Amino acid sequence: MTCSLILVVALLWPTSLSASGRSVSGLSASERSVSERSVFGPPTPLVGWQPAASLQKAQQLNKQGQQAFNQGLSEMALAYWQQAEQQYREAADDLGVLGTQLNQGKALLELGFYRRADGLLQPLVERLEAAPTSLLKVNVWLTFGKKERLLGHLSTAKTYLSAGLVMSQALGDRAQQQAAHLNMGNALT
């Protein structure tokens, strides 16, 4: 019982001092040593609570962006994805940042802002060039190929769309294979 009481007093001591208006500097040496030491070592900050909240917010914004995009509301989707990118940055989620940048590029393409889309997609291509095959890389390659097709750079478009098709086949992703075939067909016309 006495040990528990001392523990509670030791843990609450700095709080009770500031509530009473007394500062630690006005304490005797023995009182300071009790207030400055902790039974469990130095206090541990709440690490991760803010990034976790940012991550949840980012995921929610990303989902809202996808819903808006699917409904043909590209401007609204773009706004959601820009906010989601910021939240992913605060959560230090690099993959989330890359995904939202890809999504923003898709929205910009739908809005007809091909040059702005290029400004987002070109760095993604450069960053993922040496990365192993992944669904993100396939999506970036197909979106970049589509953007090149829309800009009239058919040779470059075919190169990226073909590479995206090969990667999607390696992953066994039928939806991406179909998207690659559709965009390649559009590049031929």
Contact, 125 vs 167, CB < 8 A? no
The rounded average pLDDT for each run of 10 residues, N- to C-terminus, in the chain (189 residues) is 37 38 42 37 43 89 97 97 96 95 97 95 96 95 95 93 94 91 81
Residue 2: the pLDDT is 41
Q: What are 27's two structure tokens?
A: 């304490």
Residue 52: the pLDDT is 81
The helix/strand/coil state of 63 is: helix
Q: What are 140's two structure tokens?
A: 């970036």
The pTM for the full model equals 0.70
Residue 36 vs residues 7, 26, 88: alpha-carbon distances, Å: 13, 13, 37
Residue 75: the pLDDT is 98
Contact, 105 vs 124, CB < 8 A? yes
